[in-house]
Amino acid sequence: MSTNVEHLSTQLTGSIGGAAALPWLWPALLRALADGAPVTPEDLAEATSRGLDEVRAGLEALSDTEYDAQGRIVGHGITLNPTPHRFTVDGRTLYTWCALDTLIFPAVIDRPARVSSSCYTTSAPIYLEVNPQQVASVDPASAVVSILTPDGASPVRAAFCNQVHFFASLDAAAPWLREHPDGSVLGVHDAFELGAQLTKTLLAGDGSACC
């Protein structure tokens, strides 16, 4: 692991809270959302073998979770609501909150995904194929991902996810870096490595959450 990736992993583990306190809940929620339909607390109680009251209490602790008018969950990291990051699993079109999510979630749900996004600066298309073990392809090969370590004072989606973008190249990311001098930019494969380290921490339940 590169020094920069290791440093960012340590920073993010210590600064973003939420899901890692509930390693029994959030992976089950992501896997259920990846099936492409709204998820109920009852669905999660069955999937996790936990009581319904415990599931509902856990959901209250997951910041930014999206619900539909019937009170069903439609988004938490993976979402049924459109975002710039299209995340296709088993032919189902889903979305994610940020660029790093597209690299993290194939390992969490144990399924490959096809990703279609765009450069935050130029709007040029960016395509990836990601499986639980690696980024199988990225087009353009020069694509990078922005990372900003939040201060922990704001909800995770606003403080972190909304600043984690794809860019077609390092040059395309330069305006974002000027606006965010504390931010970093990683190549897609390094960003996948960062995501793998965060996922390991999240699944172990001994650190803080990413998205």
Question: Would the CA dihedral through 45, 46, 48, 49 be positive or negative?
Answer: positive
Q: Is 43 a catalytic residue?
A: no
Active-site residue, selected from the candidate residues 43, 119, 161, 210? 161
Active-site residue, selected from the candidate residues 43, 98, 190, 210? 98
Tell how far CA 86 is from the center of its chain: 12
Contact 156, 150 (CB under 8 A): yes
Active-site residue, selected from the candidate residues 101, 190, 210, 211? 101
Nearest to 82 by CA among 117, 129, 130: 117
Nearest to 143 by CA among 162, 160, 164, 118: 118
Order of strands across the sheet that contains 184-187: 166-167, 144-147, 184-187
Q: Is 161 a catalytic residue?
A: yes
Contact 170, 142 (CB under 8 A): yes
CA distance 142 to 131: 19
Distances (CA, A) of 169 to 51, 68, 130, 188: 47, 37, 19, 10
Contact 126, 166 (CB under 8 A): yes
Q: Is 101 a catalytic residue?
A: yes
Active site residues: 98, 101, 161
